[in-house]
A and B are shown apart, each in its own frame.
Chain A
Amino acid sequence: MTALFDIVLLLLVLAVAFAVVSVRDAQTAVVGFIAFGLLLALAWVRLSSVDVALTEAAIGGGATGVLLLRGIARLRNGKGQPRGRALHIGAATVSAGFAAAIAGAVLHAPDPAPTLAPAAMEHIAALGLGNPVSAVLFGYRALDTLLEKIVVVLALLGVWSLAPDALASGRPDLRGAALPSDTLAFLARTLTPFGLLFGIYLAWTGADHPGGTFQAGAVLAAMWLLVLMAGLREPPETRNRLLRGALMLGPAAFLAAGFAGIWLAGAFLAFPPGAAKPIIVLLEIPLTLSIALALALLVAGPAQRAPR
């Protein structure tokens, strides 16, 4: 029964992906991509990766979906010369070859499968975390996570720097993303309190259960975007110092904790024994705030209205 479910699910995933890459209309492709993200999230649940499923649903499908919908609303749909038949056949051959090679690797995967699960579980008690994925993100591979939080801010810096000079320190414009309507305003007023609560819960529970700063940040970002799109609040000006400070707060706190580790525990990003969990949970508060702001502002795009 579950095998049948998996087969149907995966066929759906592939069918929707085929539609996304080949359908003529760009808007249909983007809507298909959002559906694709949600179906993929289901696939991740079937692979017992609930943390990844939450991230995929919130960021892979949700945030990327809104971003791309905004993109097709703004971009001309023209451009792009039609491709010849020969190119289609060539591309199909090359792609099928690649897919076949990867499929071959999947079918001949090493047995028993290599795994780091025992290594991850061996020291998890010292970190005091119940969620092994969080243990990897904040304990064993904290450097990757630190750099990633910085990459998010760098990407935002890149997006902001694409604004024309005269507008660069002004406000992004989300009005084109949705027509402010009473229904949207009602939804933004009703859903936001629950969304905020759920986001905070996800950040808090991430230490021991599926959840964490990215998932929580994505939910909080979605709530803020909803309020902005409904026209209940204006997006902030990019020159706003409070905003810039809040964006840097998470990475700065993480970096500070990293350097404190040299002094307290003998290595960069090491946590003193017994105090790892409280430090990580405390760090997650500014990190969630910064990531939520950065994700929402990445969707909002560069400034499009001059500063006042």
Chain B
Amino acid sequence: MTGSVTLFGLAGAGLVGLGLYGIIVQGKPLRRLLSFNVLGAGIFLLFGVAARRGAALGLGGDPVPQAIVITGIVVAFCASALAVALMMRLEAVEDDTAEGDEGTAL
């Protein structure tokens, strides 16, 4: 089992790398948000590995990191929702200013 758990850890490391790459290379805010979520998923998976390695007393894993990941997933979702709302507002404001500029030019 230990060998297999290590594979999950390596996959988590890979996801962190991929997410970071996406955040740097992608120009569009929504794509950066997606990459941010991939990065986060990698970190959560590392927590999962820590939990599984800490399995004891007949439990499938250490419940403390598992509970932290549940909290983390919900908070990441909230942050994403706020980010999407900010992006939409930013576009609306940009549209308004663009229209305003045309108005004064005429």
Contacts and interface: CB of A to CB of B under 8 A. Distances in A.
Contacts of B12: 102, 106
Given A21-B19, A72-B30, A113-B54, A51 B91 contact: no
Interface in B77-95: 77-82, 84-89, 91-92
B70 A55 contact: yes
Given A75-B91, A107-B6, A145-B71, A21 B21 contact: yes
A95 B18 contact: yes
A44 B88 contact: no
Contacts of B34: 20-21, 29-30, 33, 68
Interface string A1-39: 011001100100110011011100010011001001100
Contacts of A26: 28, 30-31
A299 B80 CA distance: 10
Q: Is the interface of B mostly helix, strand, loop or mixed?
A: helix
Given A60-B77, A75-B88, A106-B9, A47 B17 contact: no
A117 B59 contact: yes
Contacts, number: 284
A133 B48 CA distance: 13
A99 B63 contact: no
B85 A55 contact: no
Interface in A98-117: 98-100, 102-103, 106-107, 109, 113-117
A301 B20 contact: no
A49 interface: yes
- The number of chain B residues touching the other chain, given as a range, is 35 or more
Given A136-B63, A148-B71, A113 B50 contact: yes
A135 B51 CA distance: 15
A59 B77 contact: yes
A159 B20 contact: no
Given A6-B4, A17-B15, A75 B87 contact: yes
Contacts of B62: 115-117, 120
Contacts of B52: 47-49
Contacts of B30: 26, 68, 71-72, 75
B59 A136 contact: no
Given A14-B18, A109-B53, A52 B31 contact: no
A106 B49 contact: yes
A284 B9 CA distance: 33
B37 to A, nearest CB: 6
B57 A121 contact: yes
B49 A88 contact: no
Nearest to B56: A117
Nearest to A92: B21
Q: What are the 9 tightest A-B residue pairs by CB atom distance, in nearest-first order?
A: A80-B27, A48-B60, A99-B17, A115-B54, A21-B22, A106-B9, A155-B78, A113-B53, A132-B63
14 contacts: A6-B8, A21-B21, A49-B48, A49-B52, A56-B73, A59-B73, A71-B87, A77-B28, A94-B20, A106-B12, A113-B50, A115-B62, A120-B63, A155-B79
Given A26-B28, A74-B88, A76-B91, 10 more contacts: A47-B8, A48-B52, A49-B51, A52-B66, A67-B77, A103-B13, A106-B10, A106-B12, A162-B86, A162-B89
Interface of A: 2-3, 6-7, 10, 13-14, 17-18, 20-22, 26, 29-30, 33, 36-37, 40, 43-44, 46-52, 55-56, 59-60, 63-64, 67-68, 70-72, 74-77, 79-83, 87-88, 90-92, 94-96, 98-100, 102-103, 106-107, 109, 113-118, 120-121, 132-133, 135-137, 140-141, 144-145, 148, 151-152, 155-156, 158-159, 162, 164, 212, 214, 295, 298-299, 301-302
